Amino acid sequence: MSAIALLVIGLAAFLTGYQLYSRYIARHIYRLDPDFVTPAHEFEDGVDFVPTNRHVLFGHHFTSVAGAAPIVGPAIAVIWGWLPAFLWVVLGTIFAGAVHDFGALWISTRHKATSIGSLTEQIVGGRARVLFLLIIFFLLLLVNAVFAVVIANLFIANHGAVLPVWGSLVVAVVVGLLIYRTRVGILWPSIAALLVLYVLIWLGQYAPFALPDVFGFAPSGSQLQAAQGDLSVAQEAASVDGVRTGWVIVLFIYAFFASVLPVWVLLQPRDYVNSHQLFVALAIIGLGVVLVNPEIVAPAVNWELPADAPGWFPLLFITIACGAISGFHGLVASGTSAKQLDRETDARYVGYGGMIGEGTLALTSILATTAGFAVFVGREGWVEHYGTWARASSGATTAFVNGVGVLAEGVGIPHTVAVIFAAVVVISFAATTMDTGVRLQRYIISELGAQYRVRIAQNRWVATFVAVVSCAVLALGLDRGAGGMRLWPLFGTTNQLTGALTLLVVTLFLARLRRPVWVTVVPMAFLLFMTTWAMVLNLVRYWVESQMMLLAVGGIVFVLELWLVFEAAAVVRRVVRGAVVVGGRG
């Protein structure tokens, strides 16, 4: 199978989904009204509620939802072959993820731009609000821990990425100062920042940096076993653990300060530079696929799975989370985008279209790992890399960055530079998510402190410290960080649960309007079924392997999941009792 064919099929499906399915939903289900007075107009204050150009809002929404997760998930999931990953990304995006994002934006617009959390309370009930907060708390905890490990692994594998990543922080601060302290405007500082960043990426190959191992861990039992008695190999693995631990600690120290700094100093300019990176990366990968046209060497369906790998059904649906459907998008859509929607009809372009962009990013990850990466390491190398579940998980981003390296080489960028570029893209996305994640956790801890009158928790330094330490403990608690990627399925589950909760809220609202609910009920039921089943399998696995920390975190997530299933069942009962016809005319 040629990579171009897969790219064309995927993009054609996305385009068809946008043109036909989203139009059908907009006209017949959500019934968007161009004359509806959106909250941006009704409550216009120039601060939160601002009618915004739809292209600006699309760009803001898309760059807010796109991150490292749609890259990492598919890069792991191709272990089951490219076909299941491809089908879930394409069909999941069209029929679940985009409907979810579109729905969250629409329902929020119809409720004075209220956030999904508050809507949950209004529409489902007070109990569901608590459930929502708990799910969000665990989502942030897991995403911060996992992304710290992802970044640490990338720094260990790509020493050349260290200079551009940390250098880009200085560049971002300078851009922020130039924009807010001088009158130079936005255009030139951001173009200059991009140029400086690319110079740093080029310089990265000449100035690699390896963090020294200051911990000097002794080899663990599993490392000794894996080394088959060769002590030097086991010691080397333990040394990598030490370096990873060092990086994770450095990253959380950075996240601590980044999340308490004013946003204009670092987060805003950094986000902006990252947005450019996102579009540049998509263009380079797309062009690379067309020019190189590598063959996809991964099997369509991998029938000879490694011994430690779980079956694709149903684990696929929690491994690829953001690339197909993500509850996090609902928070962005309802929290900020809904307050800026100029016309209700823009919701289709911003919400549905934004998720199509995310699906495209996930598609490029499949292409980079199944075709580009295979050109780099050869067919045997690919099979070896995906020869164990552990290696496929911890090396997911390595496969992606090397795959992008090959595709970018086809565009004329030297391979070494291209690999550093791809590593910088993934690290920047993950780090920005960490900044925001720690900041949001700080807010939640402060809110809880205010609610239960714990004054010390309201102090921003204390709240940030608690957030950072809890994430770091989780990240390093699993085999000194080596098992950090084992948290990925739990992150995926929590993310899907948030998505299911949003779909539940939209369903109930549609039912109240006496409109067909199948567009949201089907993906919601699918998600709940798959995540429940996958979590049962995961918990059994953790129990058998005596992974107590994973069992504890997974157990909590599973309880939240059962709670959500209970709420969903209660909602369905209400819908049925109200004689609302599922699949009928509204």
Partner 1 sequence: MTAGKIRTVWHAIRAKARALREIYEGLYVTPYRSQIYRAYLQERDLFLLSSFSDLLGAPNPVLFYTLELYPELIEQFHEWHVRMGMPQAPEGGFRCC
Q: 187 vs 579, which CB is nearer to partner 1?
A: 187
Q: Taking the CA of residue 274 as centre, how many other CA atoms within 13 Å lie in the half-sphere pointing to its CB?
A: 27
**Residue 479 is encoded by which pair of tokens?**
């085999």
Please give the residues from 283 up to 322 whose contact with partner 1 meets the rule CB under 8 A: none
Give the interface segment with partner 1, choosing from 50-58, 103-111, 229-237, 444-452 (CB under 8 A): 50-58
Q: Are 504 and 498 in contact (CB under 8 A)?
A: no
Asked whether position 425 contacts partner 1 by CB under 8 A, the answer is: no
Nearer to partner 1 (CB atom), residue 51 or residue 125: 51
Residue span binding partner 1 (CB under 8 A) among the ranges 8-16, 49-57, 97-105, 464-472? 49-57
- Residues written for the chain: 586
For residue 212, how many other CB atoms are within 10 A of its CB? Answer: 9
- Residue closer to partner 1 by CB (options 124, 355) is 355
Judged on CB neighbours under 10 Å (0-12, 13-18, 19+), 383 is: middle
- The number of beta carbons lying within 10 Å of the beta carbon of residue 501 is 28
Residue closer to partner 1, measured from CB, 438 or 560: 438
Q: For residues 125 and 335, which CB has a smaller minimum distance to partner 1 in the complex?
A: 335
Closest-CA residue to 530 (of 338, 324, 271): 324
Binding mask 54-93 for partner 1 (x = CB under 8 A): -xxx-xx--xx-----------------------------
Whole-number Cα distances in Å, 562 to 133, 533, 535, 565: 15, 11, 11, 5
Residue identified by tokens 């928790």 is 457
Give the binding-site size for partner 1 (rule: CB under 8 A): 27
Report the nearest approach of partner 1 to the CB of residue 427 (Å).
20
Q: Torsion-angle region of residue 113: left (phi > 0), alpha (psi -120 to 50) or beta?
A: left
The three-point CA angle 551-474-273 to 5° equals 130
Q: Which is nearer to partner 1, 50 or 539 (CB)?
A: 50
By beta-carbon proximity to partner 1, the closer residue of 49 and 558 is 49
CB contact set of 76 (below 8 Å; sequence gap of 6+): 319, 392, 393, 396, 485, 488
Specify the residue, 283 or 454, whose C-beta has the smaller distance to partner 1. 283
Gap between the Cα atoms of 108 and 451, Å rounded: 25
Q: Which stretch binds partner 1 (CB under 8 A): 71-79, 258-266, 405-413, 543-551?
A: 258-266
Nearest one of 321, 328, 319 to 534, comparing CA atoms = 319
From the CB of 52, what's the least distance to partner 1, in Å?
Answer: 6
> Which positions from 141 to 180 touch partner 1 by CB under 8 A, shown as an x/- string?
--------------------------------------x-
Determine the 3-state secondary structure of 202 from DSSP: helix
Using a 10 angstrom Cβ sphere, with 0-12 exposed, 13-18 middle and 19 or more buried, the burial of residue 462 is middle
Q: Which stretch binds partner 1 (CB under 8 A): 270-278, 323-331, 369-377, 512-520?
A: 270-278
Q: Does 271 bind partner 1 (CB under 8 A)?
A: yes
Residue 149: count other Cβ atoms within 10 Å of its Cβ.
28
Residue 156: alpha-carbon gap to chain centroid: 22
For residue 24, the minimal CB distance to partner 1 (Å) is 29
Least distance in angstroms from the C-beta of 179 to partner 1: 8
Q: Where are the alpha helices (DSSP H) in 336-414?
A: 346-347, 353-367, 373-385, 389-394, 396-411
Residue (131 or 267) nearer to partner 1, CB: 267
Q: Which of residues 183-202 bind partner 1 (CB under 8 A)?
A: 185-187, 190
Q: Which position among 11, 133, 173, 263 is part of the footprint of partner 1 (CB under 8 A)?
A: 263
> Between residues 188 and 566, which has the closer beta carbon with respect to partner 1?
188
Tell me the two tokens of residue 62: 């898309």
Q: Which stretch binds partner 1 (CB under 8 A): 52-60, 202-210, 505-513, 561-569?
A: 52-60
Residues 338-377 as x/- pattern, contact with partner 1 by CB under 8 A: --x-------------------------------------
Measured in whole angstroms, the distance separating CA 505 from the mean position of its chain's CA atoms is: 22
Check binding of 275 to partner 1 (CB under 8 A): yes
- Assigned token pair, 393: 């998980």
- Burial class of residue 155 (count of CB atoms within 10 Å of its CB; 0-12, 13-18, 19+): buried
Task: Return residues touching partner 1 (CB under 8 A).
Answer: 47-48, 50, 52-53, 55-57, 59-60, 63-64, 179, 185-187, 190, 262-264, 267-268, 271-272, 275, 336, 340
